[in-house]
Amino acid sequence: MTTQDTRDEEFQDHRYSSPPPRRRNRASASALISAILTDASRLLNTEFKLARREIANNVSDAVSGIAAAIGGLVLLGAGLVIVLQAIVAALVNSGMSMGWASLVTGGIVCLVGAALVYGGGSQLSSQSLAPTRTMKQSREDREMVREKMR
């Protein structure tokens, strides 16, 4: 038997058998999906940690701002009382009775205070504490994972 005949017989035998095993250079589809899901899980976990940190930082900043505002309000309150006493005294010296001078001064101060409370209250919202950067990054990451899954 010649070398060619041996090759022909081997060819005939392989023609009806299963194909030779593929090389393992490429990962299987299930391995790729598993890797993508593992990466997506890690990414989500990291995003949640980042969101918690960002919320904690935002709350910490808000608490610091509130503490500073309270300290400032105490000092402003003391100074305002003194200034208001001076205004009332000036109105009394100009010929107004003590009752009317106090009422006019107090009314103006109440109007200014109400405007400040309204303006400040409109700036306080849950949106200012939300982790907006993390939420944006999370949306981008979801889109990236969706693209890889296609």
DSSP conformation class of 21: P
Decide: helix, strand or coil at residue 10.
Answer: helix
d(CA 29, CA 149): 11
pLDDT 10s digits, 27-50: 688 888 888 888 888 888 888 888
pLDDT 10s digits, 16-28: 555 555 555 466 8
How confident is residue 3, by pLDDT bands cut at 50, 70 and 90? low
Which of 5-14, 99-108, 121-130 has the highest mean predicted lDDT (pLDDT)?
A: 99-108
Which among 74, 76, 72, 53 is positioned nearest to 64, based on CA atoms?
Answer: 72
By the 8 A CB rule, do 92 and 105 touch?
no
